[in-house]
Each structure stands twice: as C-alpha cells, then as structure tokens.
Amino acid sequence: MNTITNDTWILSVGTFLPLVGVLLMLFIPGSEERTHKQIGIVTSAATLAVGILTLLRFDFDQSDKLQFFVDSEWISVISSNYTIGLDGISLPLYFLSMAVTFLVMIYTWDNMPDAGNPKPFIMLMLILQVGMAGSFIAQDLILFFVFFEVVLLPMYFMIGVWGGEQRQYASLKFFLYTMFGSALMLVAFLALFFQTGAASFSFAHLAEAGALVDRDVQIWIFAGMFIGFAVKVPMFPFHTWLPDAHTQAPTQGSVILAAILLKLGTYGFVRIAIPMLPQGAKAWAPVIGILAVIGIIYGALGCLAQTDMKRLIAFSSVAHMGFVMLGISTLTEFGINAALFGMVAHGLITGMLFFVAGSVKHRYHTLEIKRLSGLLIQMPRLGWILGFSAMASLGLPGLAGFWGEFPAILSAYNPNFGLSVGLYRTLMVIAALGTVLAAAYLLWLYQRTAFGRPNPEFTATPHPVGAGVDGEHHDVHIHDVTPIEWVAWTPFLVAIVLFGVYPQLMFDVMDPAVTALVEQVGAGIP
C-alpha cells in the first residue's frame, strides 16, 4: 500500500488533544460546573479545528493512499508498532467523530442529564473521543484493538451513571456483549498474526500475507472477527444489547453511540476482516447478507411494535445497519461505497433523531408515543425537525439517507466474485420491502406524535410555582428549540441536505480507496 508521509504530527495531535482537556479538568474541583463545560467545548473545538486542518491538508487526488502516515516503534517485542494513517475510507468517519463530539459538547451546555456532575461526564466524553478517533487512524491490529477497547469503559459509565431507569442493567449488558466480542476478536487477531508468519501486526502487511493463508483457516479466523465486529454493529442476532443501551443512555450517549460507536464494527469489517481474509470473507458473505436482511426486516418489525419513541429509533438503527452490512456483503465497489456512505448518513440522521428524542424527553418527561401528540402545534420547529429527520431516515431522495440505502440495495443485484446471484437478488427484493416498512414505522411515528392536537395533560397550566433553580423552565414548560439546540443541530441538518443533494462530495473521497480495496480482495480470491 502506498503511503504519504506529510504532516506526520497532525493525526496524533488530533487524536490525543482531548486528553489535554481531561488533564486540565483533573485539577479543577467538580463544583465549578461552568468551567468544566467550557473546557469541554474549547477542547473539542480545538480538536475539531485540527480535524478541519486535516481535511485541508488531505490530498483528495490520492485518497486511496494512506496519508499523514506514521510508523514508529511501540511494543517491539510483539512486533506491534504505532502505525497510523488516513485514507478515503477512514477520513469521513474520523472527521465525523470530531464534529459529533464537538456538537454534543455544545448540546451539553444546557442539557446536562439529570444525574448532574458534569466534570466526570465531560471527561468521559473526551476520553471516548480519543478512542473513537484512534480506532479510525490505527493501521496496526494491536493499536486498533487498544483504541477499540478504550471506548468501552467511558460508554459503560455514561450509560450506567447518567442513563434512564434501567441504566445499570443496560450498561452491563452493553459491556459484557462488547467484551465477549472483543475477546474472541483478539484471539482471531493473534491467530491471523501467527498464520501470517508472526512478522507484523500492520494492516498493510496482513492484507498482503493474510490472503495466502489456507482457505479453511481463513474461514475460522473470519468467524472470530465476525463475532467481534457483529456485536458492535450490531447485526442480528447479536443486537439485543442495542435497544437497551440506546434507550437507557443519556441523549449525548445515544447520539455518540449511534453516530460513531456502531460504525467501529462496520469499519472493522471493511478495513480489517475483508481485506485481510478475502477467502474467508467470500465464504461468509452470504451469511452476512442473510443476517443483514433479517436485521432489516426484524428491526423494522421491531420498530412497529415499540411504544417508546427512543426505543423505536434504536430499533431503526438495527434496520439501517442491516442495509450497511448488505452493501458490504456484496463485496462490490458499489456496495462498499454505499455502505460507507450509509455509515455517515446513518450517523448524522439517527444522531439527529436521538437529539430530538432527548429534547422531547426533556420537555415532556416522557417518550411514550401514546402520550405525545400535536408536536407541530406546541413546538412547530422541533416538530418540523423531527419530520425532516424522519424523512431522511426513511431514505427520501435528496436527503443523505437515500444514498446509503438505495445503492446498497442496488448493489445486491450483481454481487462480486461469483457470489450466488440468485440469493443476492432475493435478498435485494426483501431489503427493498424493508424500505417500505421503514416508511411505515417512521411515518406512523410522525403521525402519532406530531399531528393531531396536543395531549391535554401537557397543555394544562404548568406547575403553579416552579421549585428551585428550574423554576423558570417550569413556567415556560413546553418551549420550542432553544438557541443552543439550534447551534448543535444546524450542522447536522445542513450536512444531511448537503450530502443528499451532492453525494459526490463523499463518494469522490471514498471511491479510490474502495476501488483499491476491492482490487486487493479480488487478488486474494483465486
């Protein structure tokens, strides 16, 4: 793999900068809540600034090559290096993680979860950002594994401390599922390492040497990685942690989980499992495709059965990630491009939906669909944003969601490398039916919550005397989108439209890298 070694500092700084904020906050007492929030915003803004600089310095004409490449010694004894780099596949996700963390920080200014205590909350979010960004730049299996795991504890605490009523159960479930996946994944990584001659953990080396491993061995190793990544995605039948975690997590946690964390799994498939084990990938592709389509239908049916708005959005994630995995399982350039696009689009759209759900919860103190109605009358702007995000989520052409789903379905028409055409065309038809179901559950959700007259229990005069600090809030009770929310949300909304109208913006960056990847996979399949 070709590499470019310009601006070698930029990725390390961009990844580890949040730790500076964490260190700073360690020495400030927790009672100074405003200062902590300010440090959080400033740190994540600085990180985002480095991210923007990365975008500017990125050579878009050579996005198939690893740029800002660094390869320095780390744990020489086990031949693991600090190897980092960025190409067209990882750039959008790397940047997305920075942007989302920054916007979530801004949102936190006004919307601290009920448990309070912003100091540890913001510190955890910053550590989380290090893990997420690091996973996308790592070009060494052990380094990737470390970053992948760094994400685990902060998210566990975010759900467990600041989450809803069932938070302890949900957080433990999240933790144990992921831990189980990553333990098997680690065994698979080590097996791959030894099968390729125990020379190096670097992606480039393993992608070359992995293809030479026996087909049967590849299938076994792929199985280990499959479980690790499939839990994270999550794919049916490993998805059961997701509805609980999403529903119980605080808004910030849900947004980050949906926008970035789930992508670590799909990214792992694209970046690690498939290029390193081409024959294993080919053998497993039909299984992935079938499970993905089951996920699409199952997720959609799950959505139809939900009575809680946030849980519904969580189940819709299962369905959306099904489309992404279907695209990946075709092993075509077209499908993988669609999947990568779908990852970013889903991050933006579902992240936005979770923001809206968080704000609805904040105002009504409930997310029960039955009790909500007439959002458009009580909060016209929030109602419209919900409608907009729901349309984007169901894949309306002209918005970002469309470019993730439609090409993914289309790619199944003609799978690569002699995968069974009959099977994939069947999958295609079923997946297409899934989009109809998606329209059904999203429109039904919208109809029930936004249309009609507001529920009388929320229109009655608010509490006579608002108690304590929140007094002011209680007087206005149901208020429309606040300025802070506008600041945090506008970039999401703009991006959804922008990528919907002009998807080339992202496809152009990804395509050369994806082409190179698929070529490499093809070379490994006899």
Partner 1 sequence: MSSLLSSVLAQAWVAPTIDWHAIAPELVLVVGINLVLFIDLWLDDSKKWAMATLTGFVMVGAFIPVVTLAVIGDDVRDAIFDGRYVVDEYALVLKGLFLLVGYVVVLMSQTELEEGGYYQGEFYVLMLVSVLGMVMMASSRDLLSVFVALELLSIPAYMMAAWRKRDPRSNEAGVKYYLLGVFASGVLLYGMSFLYGTTGSTKLTEIGAALTGDLSPMQVLAVVFVIAGFGFKISAVPFHTWAPDTYEGAPTPVTAFLSVASKAAGFVALLTVLYLGLHGAGEVHGPLIWVLAALTMTIGNVIALRQTNIVRMLAYSSVSQGGFILMPLAFISDGAAESALRAVVIYLLIYAFSNLGAFAVIISVARRTGSGEITSFGGLMSYAPALGVLMTIFMASLAGIPPLGIWIAKLQSFRALIDAGTDAAYVLAVIAAVNTVIAAGYYMRVLRQVWMAPAPDGDTSPIVTPQPVALALGITAGGTLLLGILPGLVLRFADLPDLTGAFGL
Interface residue list for partner 1 (CB under 8 A): 30, 73-78, 117, 120, 142, 145-146, 149-150, 152-153, 156-157, 160-161, 167-168, 171-172, 175-176, 179-180, 183-184, 186-187, 190-191, 193-194, 198
Q: Which residue has the tokens 């995605």?
A: 233
Nearer to partner 1, 227 or 408 (CB): 227
Element (H or E) spanning 72, and its range?
Answer: strand 67-75
CA nearest neighbour of 138 among 6, 268, 7: 268
User: Residue 368 phi/psi, 5° resolution?
Assistant: -70, 120
Q: Is 41 exposed, middle or buried (0-12, 13-18, 19+ CB in 10 A)?
A: middle
Instruction: Give every CB contact of residue 469 below 8 A, 6+ residues apart in sequence.
Output: none
CB of 78 to partner 1, least distance (A): 7
Q: Please, are residues 434 and 293 in contact by the beta-carbon 8 Å criterion?
A: yes
DSSP string, 432-447: HHHHHHHHHHHHHHHH
3-state secondary structure of 330: coil
Q: Number of H helices and number of E strands within the chain?
A: 24, 2
CB of 220 to partner 1, least distance (A): 9
CB of 204 to partner 1, least distance (A): 21
Nearer to partner 1, 194 or 460 (CB): 194
CB of 184 to partner 1, least distance (A): 5
CB of 477 to partner 1, least distance (A): 30
CB of 467 to partner 1, least distance (A): 22
Nearer to partner 1, 160 or 415 (CB): 160
Q: Is 194 exposed, middle or buried (0-12, 13-18, 19+ CB in 10 A)?
A: exposed
Our CA dihedral for 476, 479, 485, 489, rounded to 10 degrees, sits at 180
Nearer to partner 1, 108 or 171 (CB): 171
CB of 404 to partner 1, least distance (A): 31
DSSP string, 106-138: HHHTT---TT--HHHHHHHHHHHHHHHHHHHHB
Q: Which residues pair with 66 in a beta bridge?
A: 3
- Rounded-to-integer distance, Cα 378 and Cα 325, Å: 39
DSSP string, 280-330: HHHHHHHHHHHHHHHHHHHHHHHHHT--BHHHHHHHHHHHHHHHHHHHHHT
CB of 176 to partner 1, least distance (A): 6
Nearer to partner 1, 96 or 276 (CB): 276
Ordered alpha helix ranges (H), 196-271: 203-210, 215-232, 241-248, 251-256, 262-268
Nearer to partner 1, 145 or 446 (CB): 145
Nearer to partner 1, 197 or 471 (CB): 197
Nearer to partner 1, 198 or 305 (CB): 198
Nearer to partner 1, 176 or 421 (CB): 176
Distance of CA 446 to the CA centre of its chain: 24
CB of 307 to partner 1, least distance (A): 26
Ordered alpha helix ranges (H), 67-117: 91-108
CA nearest neighbour of 158 among 149, 144, 168: 168
CB of 73 to partner 1, least distance (A): 8
Nearer to partner 1, 93 or 155 (CB): 155
CB of 54 to partner 1, least distance (A): 23
Nearer to partner 1, 196 or 251 (CB): 196
- Rounded-to-integer distance, Cα 262 and Cα 395, Å: 19
3-state secondary structure of 305: coil
Instruction: Give every CB contact of residue 314 below 8 A, 6+ residues apart in sequence.
Output: 242, 243, 245, 246, 247, 254
Nearer to partner 1, 187 or 481 (CB): 187
CB of 363 to partner 1, least distance (A): 26
Q: At what angle do helices 380-393 and 421-450 cross, to 10 degrees?
A: 170
Nearer to partner 1, 150 or 430 (CB): 150
CB of 183 to partner 1, least distance (A): 4
Nearer to partner 1, 173 or 320 (CB): 173
SS (H, E, C) 428-488: HHHHHHHHHHHHHHHHHHHHHHHCCCCCHHHHCCCCCCCCHHHHHHHHHCCCCCCHHHHHH
- Rounded-to-integer distance, Cα 114 and Cα 162, Å: 7
- Rounded-to-integer distance, Cα 93 and Cα 347, Å: 9
User: Residue 261 phi/psi, 5° resolution?
Assistant: -60, -40
CB of 147 to partner 1, least distance (A): 8
